[in-house]
Amino acid sequence: MYKSHIIQEDLKKITEKDINFQNLHNKNILITGATGMLASYYMYVLMYLNDKMNANIKIYALVRNIDKLEQVTQFSERNDIIPIVQDVCDKIHVPEKIDYIIHMASSANPKTITKDPVGIINANVIGTLNVLELAKESGAQVIFTSTREIYGKLDENITKVAETDMGALDCLDLRSCYPESKRMAENLIVSYAYQFGIKYKIVRIAHVYGPGMIIDNDGRIMSDLISNVVHKENIVLKSTGEAKRAFCYISDATIALFMITVNTKENEVYNIANETEEISIKDLAFLLKDMYENSDVIFDIQENKNQYVKFTRTPLDVSKLEKLGWKPEVLLADGIKNTVEYFNELV
């Protein structure tokens, strides 16, 4: 997957940005959940820096499935990736000092909520605790990928959600297992920073898509619609499609993540989102239909009270990120085209 021409083009653009990549040279970096979409792209950038700039970065990839890691990176042909095969909920042992821990081990799959909510909580809470214990031992800085969902249901007067805003979550709602445990993870990080001097950065991310995303049996709207297109199926909507979303292509999100990693001061929180092309789910479906004419849009309206967020979406305020010089560059139609082409290459 690393050698995909789509991914290689993205990596070239990412590494040409005004980011202090030199700060990562000769560092040991642990990535948890390393085969996830955003984690994979983060890892690909490090691999690319090694390949093109002799950065001498050692990558520790914590995964549960070593075969998937091989599929994603072909690590057996390289000497810069060291697999750590375990659950993040188990104590983490690394044989040498770690400089950065990029903590991304978590499930955001809506279908997992109805099947294994306790597993979601364990990964976000116990997994984060294990990461922080390692950071305390090694002096590593922790970069934690959180979610826009931690903001909960906000006051209706809030039109853009800043990092300092916070709304309500219903702890008796099964759906809250994901955002509540992410909130607890954030508080664990802040508590370790206060009590033990851990250095951290927290990023709250909204609706990232692109090569490497899970498209089969995932449950998130972009994944499901891309799956329909790739498999040349009708585009199926399980609602009226009136809800609105704003999607951020993976390369834009990765640029933001690296800017935050190396261009910012410690112990800060940032939103990552592309709010420039808000679109209804229905309009997204018809955009895909127009782009790939072999599909029709079918409405198969269902009710599921547990899988999806119930409150109205409020755009994220990304002005704090924009002050670093970041702005989203990939248009929605172009990002979709890249994603579909990437998956068609795999067939």
Q: DSSP for 181-207, please give it.
A: HHHHHHHHHHHHHHHH---EEEEEE--
Give the span between the Cα atoms of 178 and 158, in whole angstroms: 23
> Tokens standing for 231?
């498999």
**Biggest alpha carbon–alpha carbon distance for the chain:** 58
Which residues neighbour 333 within 8 Å (Cβ) at sequence distance 6 or greater? Answer: 287, 291
Cα–Cα distance, 209 to 299 (Å, whole number): 23
What is the DSSP pairing of strand 100-103 with strand 141-147? Answer: parallel
Q: What is the mean pLDDT of the chain?
A: 94
pLDDT band at 347 (very low <50, low <70, confident <90, very high): low
Range with the lowest mean pLDDT among 70-79, 250-259, 306-315, 336-345? Answer: 306-315
The answer, yes or no, to whether residue 307 has pLDDT greater than 70, is no
Q: Tell me, what's the pLDDT at 308?
A: 53
Distance CA 122, CA 128 (A): 9
Of the pLDDT bands very low, low, confident and very high (cuts 50, 70, 90), residue 238 is confident
Q: Token match 């979550």: residue? A: 169
User: Which tokens belong to 53?
Assistant: 């700039």
3-state secondary structure of 115: helix
The CATH H-level (homologous superfamily) assignment of domain 5-213+247-276+314-334 is NAD(P)-binding Rossmann-like Domain (3.40.50.720)
Catalytic residue among 42, 48, 100, 178: 178
Q: Cα–Cα distance between 128 and 88 in angstroms, integer?
A: 8
**pTM of the predicted protein model:** 0.95
The answer to which of 50-54, 176-180, 233-237, 299-303 has the lowest mean pLDDT is 299-303
Query: Given CA atoms 244, 187, 307, 42 in this order, what sign does their dihedral have?
Result: positive
pLDDT in tens, 240-294: 888 899 999 999 999 999 999 999 999 999 999 999 999 999 999 999 999 998 6
Q: Can you tell me the distance from the alpha carbon of 323 to that of 319, in angstroms, rounded to the nearest whole number?
A: 6
Residue 306 pLDDT exceeds 70: no
pLDDT tens per residue across span 109-138: 888 888 999 999 999 999 999 999 999 999
pLDDT at 94 over 60: yes
Q: pLDDT confidence of 236, banded at 50, 70, 90? A: confident
Is 178 marked active-site? Answer: yes
What is the average pLDDT across 53-79?
97
Contacts of 195 (CB under 8 A, 6+ apart): none
Integer Cα distance of 159 and 34 in angstroms: 35
State mean pLDDT over 46-52.
98
